[in-house]
Amino acid sequence: MKNLITIAVDAMGGDNAPLKIIDGIELHNKKSKNIFYKLFGNKNIIDPIIQKKNLDKNCIEIIHTEEKIKGEDSAFAAAKRGKNTSMWLAVESVKKKSSDIVISAGNTGALLVIAKLNLKMLENIDKPALSGLWPSKKGMSVVLDLGANIECSDKNLIDFSIMGSSLFKSLFPDEKPKVALLNIGSEELKGNEVIKNTYQKLNQINIEDFEFKGFIEGSHIMDGNVNVVVADGFTGNIALKTAEGTANFITSELKNAMKGSILGRLGSIISISNLKRFKKKLDPRLYNGAILLGLDSPVIKSHGGTDYVGFANSLSVCEKIVKNNLIDKIKNSIS
């Protein structure tokens, strides 16, 4: 098949696996035909589910293993569990170049460790970064690092800027990446020494692949004036969790307000189309699929608690990354 993309899938990772995984594949397969899915997991459980689905059976291969990483495993325990787990074998598949990209909805810490044990770092990259998609008023942004590295040097943050821009360009080829550093203020003198040094160096480096926009505060991430936001993993993870909690709070309170009185119910009926658009904008399933950048093969982490729609969206992220040659883009930009 022309331009066939092979995705290695950890079929046993995440809540309600493998049913959720296969339902996500079925949804993704309806619109993406040049994809081959390699499923790593228990064939005795996976195969009966697949047989009931409206799926092209020629686009799926099951690599059998009865071992899997548990959600409660520490990263060390997961790595120690062995090389026959569904997650390890899926990652190993991209290492051996029999798959183009790997995705798992399983244990995040385990995936980071297993990926780093199996895959090489790209030349001139010291640390990998976990990046994710973030909604804004003007579309979508890439935010990194979301928790892979608690402490970072100015070189790390510059590397993240280059890798984040390459990712954005792979996902949105028609837009120019605009990079900003997440900081406690937008003024040049604010922040710690690492972030101030990064600011100075990015101002001096002439990089054609993106436009450097300086500092950005957390309250302006969703304005859409920049589309690549860079931070150390500690700051980025707190920003992510705060945004997720705020979104959940708003949608929950909105539901309560609409059900609370006759006027609330009446108002919700009148504004139903606007409410649907609002709900869709905050739907976390649309932004599912964190990407581990800096390794010589692409690794995607789907949220463990997402449903099949969210998993299908993360498969779409896999497809775009491979089609638009993310790894080559990073290599060229770093060099």
CB 45 within 8 A of CB 13: no
Cβ–Cβ contacts within 10 Å for residue 85, how many? Answer: 27
pLDDT tens, position by position, for the chain (335 residues)?
457 999 999 999 999 999 999 999 999 999 998 999 999 999 999 999 999 998 888 999 999 999 999 888 888 887 777 789 999 999 999 999 999 999 999 998 899 999 999 999 999 999 999 999 988 888 889 999 998 899 999 999 999 999 999 999 999 998 999 999 999 988 888 889 999 999 999 998 877 789 999 999 999 998 999 999 999 999 998 988 888 788 778 777 777 766 666 655 655 555 566 556 656 666 777 778 899 999 999 999 998 889 999 999 999 999 999 999 999 999 988 87
CATH of domain 126-291: 3.40.718.10
One-letter identity of residue 117: L
Q: State the span(s) of the chain assigned CATH 3.40.718.10.
A: 1-122+294-335, 126-291
pTM assigned to the model: 0.87
CB 24 within 8 A of CB 315: yes
User: Which CATH homologous superfamily contains domain 1-122+294-335?
Assistant: Isopropylmalate Dehydrogenase (3.40.718.10)
Q: What is the DSSP letter of 295?
A: B
- What does the alpha-carbon distance between residue 2 and residue 232 come to, in Å, rounded to a whole number? 40
Q: What is the DSSP letter of 211?
A: E
Distances 4 to 55, 94, 236, 302, 323 between C-alpha atoms, Å: 17, 15, 35, 22, 10
Chain centre distance of CA 299: 9
- What does the alpha-carbon distance between residue 196 and residue 204 come to, in Å, rounded to a whole number? 13
* Residue 289, token pair as written in the block: 């699929």
Chain centre distance of CA 249: 23
